[in-house]
Amino acid sequence: MPVHVIVGSQWGDEGKGKIVDHLSENVDIVARYQGGANAGHTVVIGQQEYILHLIPSGIFNENVICVIGNGVVVDPAALLEEIEMLRSFGLDIKKRLLISHNAHLIMPYHKLLDRLREEQNSRIGTTGRGIGPAYIDKFSRTGIRIVDLLDREVLCKKIKTNLEEKNKVLKQIYGEEELQVDDIIEQYQEFDKLIDEFVTDTSFYLNNALKENKTMLAEGAQGALLDIDHGTYPYVTSSNPTSGGACTGLGIPPTAITKITGIVKAYTTRVGNGPFPTELFGEESDLLRRWGNEFGATTGRPRRCGWFDAMLVRYSARVNGIQEMAITKLDVLSDLSEIPVCTGYRLNGKILKTFPTDEKRLDKLEPMYETLPGWKQTLTEITQYSDLPERAIQYITRLEELTGIPARIISVGARRDQTVFKDV
């Protein structure tokens, strides 16, 4: 039962979309297991760039079935926009997209509350896609699921019950207008007609497929350090991007997982607020942002940039069980004569044994660096590992030593074909 889990190893935007698209050439199914339209996964084929928020990045390989699992929070408006975008490129997704009937819906009040909370107390720097409020409702057992769309009576009752509470909050805490029950019911019944053909029991589908020995990629969104349990809380998202989330988010057993690949950017970025030990400021940060085009795929916000952090990736390897790395964006470092890499942290004169996830220690610690020589050579046309410059190989080898994870894939450009496999 070969399930290969692909996880983001840092703070998201490591290039998961690109690698999943590439690997999906050889699988039957690609399934997203958590998050929602806060994700922005970029796939570049030829000259064309596609940004996916909810639909798995396997959609560009026509033999692949794409699944949105029960762990995902689905914004039907965002989903329909994405389906339309794909159709406008002539992509036929009929019978190739399946959506779990148990996935929770993002409702208009989730997006509104997300934005209002951020405006009043902008601590997290969320994407404003309603993710936190939707997962709050899921866990407080008041959420509305896709299956609820099927029955008008159930849907009306659930929306009414939710609005009774949400309208009080909107009006009394935020001084906003109340939302109208009938408008939302109309809108969501309309959505139901448009997405109904994709909805099914995806856990049943996936487990049957696994029995037939079909191969599958589980595509994580976000990254380990944004994980609600293992990330830099409270500056995290509201789901479990780490590999364990693939089981609960898809309804497949842990025993089905045969491989876990961590997508690792050759340096570090973060969007939104929160601690970032190796963050750069000023000109160095601007350079990395420009070379790497580090602007959010969902919100367009400039990403914060910094050096590679081996302490962080070692931690990520532990909480995910990463067995191999795909190192992305190596080409972005090509103009540097020297490349600092963080090997560990010191706090109050002591070397830390592991990555601390509390804000206080993260803000105070001092990263320790070693400097590696740059290769000063363009990498974007290289297709064979052995053709990489010696110093680029030295950089990769050092990252392998420092993180304890072998690298298997090296990405040297955004395009699908700018991917180098290392023989292992």
Residue 414 site contact among Mg ion, ligand GDP, ligand IMO, none (CB < 5 to 8 Å, cut-off depends on kind): ligand GDP
Q: Which residues bind ligand GDP (CB under 6 A)?
A: 8, 12-18, 40-42, 44, 293, 297, 328-329, 331-332, 411-414
Mark 125-154 with x for binding to ligand IMO (rule: CB under 6 A) and - for no binding. Answer: xxx-x-xx----------------------
The vertex-7 CA angle with 5 and 9, nearest 5°, equals: 145
Mark 25-44 with x for binding to ligand IMO (rule: CB under 6 A) and - for no binding. Answer: -------------xxxx---
Of 244, 234, 297, 245, residue with least CA distance to 271: 297
Contact 404, 314 (CB under 8 A): yes
Binding of residue 56 to ligand IMO (CB under 6 A): no
Q: Which of 4, 13, 114, 230 is catalytic?
A: 13
Reported residue count of the chain is 424
Binding of residue 272 to ligand IMO (CB under 6 A): yes
Binding of residue 419 to ligand IMO (CB under 6 A): no
Q: Residue 417 to residues 30, 263, 310, 406: CA-CA distances in angstroms?
A: 19, 17, 27, 22
DSSP 8-state assignment for residue 9? -
Q: Residue 299 to residues 271, 302, 404: CA-CA distances in angstroms?
A: 10, 9, 34
Stretch that binds Mg ion, among 46-54, 69-77, 289-297, 321-329 (CB under 5 A): 289-297
Pairwise CA distance, residues 148 & 248, whole Å: 20
Residues in binding contact with ligand IMO, number by CB under 6 A: 24
Residue from 5, 7, 11, 13 touching Mg ion (CB under 5 A): that is 13
Residue 237 site contact among Mg ion, ligand IMO, ligand GDP, none (CB < 5 to 8 Å, cut-off depends on kind): ligand IMO
User: Has 110 been annotated as catalytic?
Assistant: no
Pairwise CA distance, residues 342 & 357, whole Å: 17
Shortest separation between residue 248's beta carbon and ligand IMO, angstroms: 18
CB within 8 A of 86, min separation 6: which ones? 50, 55, 59, 93
Shortest separation between residue 329's beta carbon and ligand GDP, angstroms: 4
- Burial (CB count <10 Å: 0-12, 13-18, 19+), residue 91: middle
Nearest to ligand IMO of 238, 343 (CB atom): 238
Shortest separation between residue 385's beta carbon and Mg ion, angstroms: 26
Shortest separation between residue 211's beta carbon and Mg ion, angstroms: 33
Of 413, 414, 57, 403, residue with least CA distance to 264: 403
Contact 289, 35 (CB under 8 A): no
CB within 8 A of 65, min separation 6: which ones? 28, 29, 30, 96, 97, 98
307 is written with which tokens?
A: 């050096």
Q: Which of 21, 22, 28, 41 is catalytic?
A: 41
DSSP string for residues in 381-409: T--SGGGS-HHHHHHHHHHHHHHT--EEE
User: Has 41 been annotated as catalytic?
Assistant: yes
Binding of residue 221 to Mg ion (CB under 5 A): no
Minimal CB distance residue for ligand IMO: 272
Shortest separation between residue 45's beta carbon and ligand GDP, angstroms: 11
The vertex-391 CA angle with 390 and 395, nearest 5°, equals: 120
Shortest separation between residue 400's beta carbon and ligand GDP, angstroms: 17
Pairwise CA distance, residues 296 & 138, whole Å: 27
Pairwise CA distance, residues 413 & 417, whole Å: 8
Nearest to Mg ion of 149, 225 (CB atom): 225
Stretch that binds ligand IMO, among 9-17, 86-94, 319-327, 342-350 (CB under 6 A): 9-17
Residue 226 site contact among ligand IMO, ligand GDP, Mg ion, none (CB < 5 to 8 Å, cut-off depends on kind): ligand IMO
Pairwise CA distance, residues 350 & 377, whole Å: 38
Pairwise CA distance, residues 405 & 125, whole Å: 31
Nearest to Mg ion of 260, 297 (CB atom): 297
Nearest to ligand GDP of 298, 403 (CB atom): 298
Shortest separation between residue 176's beta carbon and ligand GDP, angstroms: 31
Binding of residue 12 to ligand IMO (CB under 6 A): yes
Of 236, 204, 205, residue with least CA distance to 362: 236
Nearest to ligand GDP of 13, 82 (CB atom): 13
Shortest separation between residue 299's beta carbon and ligand GDP, angstroms: 11
- The contact set with Mg ion (CB under 5 A) reads 13, 40, 297
Active-site residues, by number, are 13, 41
- The contact set with ligand IMO (CB under 6 A) reads 8, 11-13, 38-41, 124-127, 129, 131-132, 221-223, 226, 237-238, 271-272, 297
